[in-house]
Amino acid sequence: MKCKRCKAPAEVELRQHNAGFCRACFIFYFQRQVERAIAKERMLVPEESVLVAVSGGKDSLALWDVLIELGYRTTGLHLSLGIGAYSDHSTAKTVAFAEQRGLPLITVSLAEQGLAVPDIAGLTRRPACSACGTMKRHYFDQLAIDRGFPVVATGHNLDDEAARLLGNVLHWQMEHLARQRPVLQPTHERFVRKVKPLFRCSEYETAVYAFMRGISYVVDECPNAAGATQLLYKELLNRLEAESPGSKLTFVQEFLHKAQPALTPAAVEPPQTCTGCGMPSYGELCGFCRLVRETDIRRARRQAAGRA
């Protein structure tokens, strides 16, 4: 197969586009895809400072790399989640990436705040992924607001979005479907815009891009993700994609074009202000502060029981 752009021997075949690319042209193609997604969905304006949420995995590091190449002013935000060796490796990869390129990076260690994900999940008996999601949402908004960033970019890719869409459709989660967009505008002065510039790039394309750009990333999945329903949906979609290339892109793209505009988010009261942390909340305390409070109470009880 020959490269679609320059006719040199192709190194990557993209079956969903019925095209092959050599290394240089694939890098160009990938960056153009992201550039177009940003422009079409009006995710970012050139002079804005973007806070990039970086996990140390291929998607968010590839995203950071592309945003730099496209000329955006960026700062990385990494949450060290306290999930054993997995988190240590993730943090090391993120720090190395930022140092090699001289990029600003904010790192927050949850373990140092007594909020390591396995601890809060164990103490409050919540699923680790749910506790982890609450922490991420809170810190992404809070740090963006405190440091003056109008927007947070995450590395969610096409496979993530297709799997989430399948889950939402299987359960007809109308409110989640109404909010499943590549750009989410803030609904409160202490929320910021969230954007997903890689939403049209498949996991495979992102992995190839990271490899071709020499990005060193954490390959392991989060140990908590094993058996997660999201992985089953991804497997199913991969089977569909193998039989019918382009299925994932059509599924997500046509949803956004045809179904999404017909869904209006349910009229909910605007959020109040959390009395614990000042962030938006539906109730006196936000989800994060409830989780922290519950953790503190159970930890104190456990310590008291240990002393008795």
Q: Which residues bind ligand AMP (CB under 6 A)?
A: 53-55, 59-60, 77-79, 81, 136, 154-156, 160
136 vs 138 by CB, closer to ligand AMP: 136
The binder of 194, among ligand AMP, Zn ion, none, by C-beta within 5 to 8 A per type, is none
286 interacts with, out of Zn ion, ligand AMP, none, CB within 5 to 8 A per kind:
Zn ion
Q: Are 138 and 290 in contact (CB under 8 A)?
A: no
Name the residue among 191, 209, 143 with its Cα closest to residue 11. 209
Instruction: Report the C-alpha gap between 61 and 217 in whole angstroms.
Output: 7
Q: Which does 289 bind (CB under 5 to 8 A by kind): Zn ion, ligand AMP, none?
A: Zn ion
The rounded Cα 97 to chain-centroid distance in angstroms is 18
C-beta of 20 vs 155, nearer to ligand AMP: 155
Q: Which does 274 bind (CB under 5 to 8 A by kind): Zn ion, ligand AMP, none?
A: Zn ion
Q: Which x/- pattern over 264-303 shows residues binding Zn ion (rule: CB under 5 A)?
A: ----------x-xx-x------x--x--------------
CB of 107 to ligand AMP, least distance (A): 9
* Residue with Cβ nearer ligand AMP (59 or 205): 59
In the bound state, the residue with its beta carbon closest to ligand AMP is 155
In the complex, minimum distance from the CB of residue 154 to ligand AMP, in angstroms, rounded to a whole number: 3
Per the CB < 8 A criterion, the answer to whether 190 and 141 are in contact is yes
For residue 79, the partner it binds in Zn ion, ligand AMP, none, with Cβ less than 5 to 8 A by kind, is ligand AMP
- The answer to whether the CB of 178 falls within 8 A of the CB of 264 is yes
Q: How far apart are CA 32 and CA 197, in angstroms?
A: 11
Q: How far is the CB of 135 from ligand AMP (least distance, A)?
A: 9
End-to-end CA distance of the chain: 73
Name, in order, each residue with C-beta under 8 angstroms of 34's C-beta and a sequence gap of 6 or more: 63, 66, 67, 70, 197, 198, 201
CB neighbour burial string for 24-41, b if at least 16 within 10 angstroms, e if fewer: ebbbebbbebbbebbeeb
**Both structure tokens of 256:** 């956004």
Write down the least CB distance from residue 60 to ligand AMP, Å. 4
Closest distance of CB 90 from ligand AMP, Å: 6
List of residues contacting Zn ion (CB under 5 A):
274, 276-277, 279, 286, 289
